[in-house]
């Protein structure tokens, strides 16, 4: 039974293409074992041209994994009918909009072109690299707000998007155009919370939730990439399916990191270890930052640790977050709730969950937070 405007090509997932082609763990192991032929180890940033030269087919054709362009939403009570407490959702709290995007839907679409008050944002998810981030941007050609589709291609095993306004190509993790009229333009990145339905609903009872009424027929109760382990392991512990531009064996390939971008530099925070540390002060290219663990959502948020012109240093004290200068109390969302600075909100910077192999492949000069230190 087909609805008008719907497509029933459930096989148009990368996983299905890989299985049909006989690509599996063995091929992935070969891809992970080293750099592309002739490449030397990399210790500094890649150029946009480097990324453009390493575009490869992921299997499906352009928009073969169809984005959701007219998303419909339901209430939390309605979402309870198709979401279990432990189901993964990607939470958006931005511009007055609070919405949850279930992983079981996005794994089949990878891009949702949505709207918040007075602007457009695109929710993006790459199952191959475990990265989810929202974007907003404008065309450098005519200033129109950008919306995105899937090219069916990959860079470093990561979703390569295209924008409908200029047909430029944008790797999701990079957040910058590597080819087309918008080349070198960068998108504004909006962090999303990778969390569970129970945690998100508890924090945001009035949340809206992306409906399974997408206009496409998909088996939204199943995951074409396999099973997701609630312990935090993405699908399996094996190597990526596709070759990447650089490798680093300090961590398992699919270890969950929190990738941070600030001041033109990058930082990787091992997520599992940070859960016990909870608070960390860092400086990235001269920019003072603080990473805060939110137990309620099981996410790590990263913020500029400045109030007005004053640089603050934070610590965990008796289960509370305090700044050493004033002794004021802060919550993991970067807001001061008690003390001299009450009401102050720290500016959030880009930070999102991502597999180690993919983060390093894009950013070989990334710093790594040593979570055993204060």
Does one domain contain both 272 and 134? no
Same domain, 284 and 193: no
Please check whether residue 184 lies inside any domain of the structure: yes
24 with 140, same domain? Answer: yes
Half-sphere exposure of 371 (CA within 13 A, CB side): 18
Q: Is 167 found in the same domain as 54?
A: yes
d(CA 35, CA 356): 16
For residue 12, what are the CA distances in angstroms to 73, 193, 328?
25, 27, 53
Please check whether residue 179 lies inside any domain of the structure.
Answer: yes
Residue 236 resides in a domain: no
- Distance between alpha carbon 237 and the CA centroid of its chain, in Å? 19
Q: Are residues 265 and 200 in the same domain?
A: no
CA 318 from centroid of its chain's CA atoms: 32
CATH of the domain at 322: 2.102.10.10
Q: What are phi and psi of 356, to 5 degrees?
A: -55, -45
3-state secondary structure of 30: helix
Quick check: is 156 in a domain? yes
**Judgement on whether residues 178 and 33 belong to the same structural domain of the protein:** yes
Examine residue 215 and state whether it is found in any structural domain, yes or no. Answer: no
Q: Does the pLDDT at position 3 exceed 50?
A: no
Q: Are residues 200 and 261 in the same domain?
A: no
Distance CA 171, CA 161 (A): 6
Q: What pLDDT is stored for residue 22 in this prediction? A: 40
Say whether pLDDT at 372 is over 70.
Answer: no
Q: State whether 205 and 287 are in the same domain.
A: no
- Kindly state the average pLDDT of the residues 296-323: 95
Domain membership of residue 232 (yes or no) is: no
Let me know if residue 228 belongs to a domain: no
Asked if residue 176 and residue 311 are part of one domain, the reply reads: no
Short-list 72, 95, 80, 333, CA closest to 201: 80
Question: What integer pLDDT is reported at residue 246 of this predicted model?
Answer: 94
Question: What is the C-alpha to C-alpha distance for residues 268 and 363, in angstroms, rounded to an integer?
Answer: 10
Q: Which residue among 142, 177, 210 closes a domain?
A: 210
pLDDT of res. 35: 38
Pick from 22-31, 156-165, 275-284: least confident: 22-31
DSSP label at residue 205: T
166 lies in the same domain as 73: yes
Q: Do 136 and 197 fall within a single domain?
A: yes
Residue where a domain stops, chosen among 150, 182, 210: 210
Residue 17 pLDDT level (bands cut at 50, 70, 90): low
pLDDT for 262 equals 94
- Asked if residue 21 has pLDDT above 50, the reply is no
In a domain, 229, yes or no: no
Q: Which domain holds residue 267?
A: 256-368
Please tell me whether residues 192 and 273 are part of one structural domain: no
What confidence tens digit (pLDDT) does each residue in 188-230 have? Answer: 999 999 999 999 999 999 999 999 999 998 888 877 777 655 4
pLDDT confidence tier of residue 4, bands split at 50, 70 and 90: very low
Helices (H), the chain: 14-21, 25-32, 48-53, 76-79, 103-106, 197-203, 271-277, 356-362
Antiparallel, parallel or unpaired: β 188-190 and 193-196: unpaired
Q: What is the pLDDT of residues 315-357, one digit of tens each?
A: 999 889 999 999 999 999 999 999 999 999 999 999 999 999 9
Number of domains in the chain: 2
The residue among 184, 210, 236 that closes a domain is 210
């Amino acid at each position: 039974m087909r609805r008008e405007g719907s497509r029933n090509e459930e096989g148009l997932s990368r996983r299905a293409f890989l299985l049909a082609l006989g690509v599996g763990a063995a091929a992935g192991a070969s891809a992970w074992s080293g750099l592309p032929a002739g490449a030397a180890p990399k210790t500094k940033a890649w150029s946009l041209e480097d990324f453009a030269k390493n575009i490869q087919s992921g299997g499906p054709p352009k928009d073969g994994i169809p984005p959701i362009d007219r998303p419909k939403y339901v209430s939390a009570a309605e979402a309870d009918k198709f979401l279990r407490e432990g189901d993964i959702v990607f939470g958006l709290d931005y511009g007055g909009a609070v919405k949850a995007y279930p992983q079981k839907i996005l794994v089949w679409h990878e891009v949702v072109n949505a709207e918040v008050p007075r602007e457009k944002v695109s929710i993006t998810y790459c199952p191959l690299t475990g990265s989810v981030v929202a974007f907003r941007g404008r065309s450098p050609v005519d200033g129109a707000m950008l919306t995105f589709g899937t090219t069916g291609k990959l860079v470093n095993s990561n979703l390569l998007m295209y924008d409908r306004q200029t047909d430029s190509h944008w790797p999701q993790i990079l957040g910058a155009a590597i080819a087309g009229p918008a080349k070198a333009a960068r998108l504004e990145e909006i962090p999303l919370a990778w969390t569970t339905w129970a945690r998100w609903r508890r924090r945001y009872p009035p949340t809206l939730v992306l409906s399974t009424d997408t206009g496409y027929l998909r088996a939204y109760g199943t995951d074409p990439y396999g099973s997701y382990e609630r312990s935090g392991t993405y699908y399996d512990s094996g190597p990526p399916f596709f070759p990447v531009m650089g490798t680093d064996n300090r961590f398992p390939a699919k270890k969950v990191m929190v990738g941070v971008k600030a001041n033109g530099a990058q930082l990787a925070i091992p997520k599992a270890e940070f859960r016990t540390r909870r608070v960390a002060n860092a400086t990235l290219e001269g920019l003072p930052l603080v990473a805060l663990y939110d137990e309620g959502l099981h996410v790590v948020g990263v913020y500029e640790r400045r109030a007005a012109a004053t640089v603050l240093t934070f610590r965990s004290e008796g289960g509370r977050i305090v700044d050493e200068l004033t002794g004021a109390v802060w919550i993991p969302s970067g807001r001061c709730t008690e003390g001299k600075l009450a009401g102050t909100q720290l500016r959030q910077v880009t930070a999102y969950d991502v597999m180690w192999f993919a983060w390093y492949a894009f950013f070989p000069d990334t710093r790594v937070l040593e979570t055993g230190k204060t």
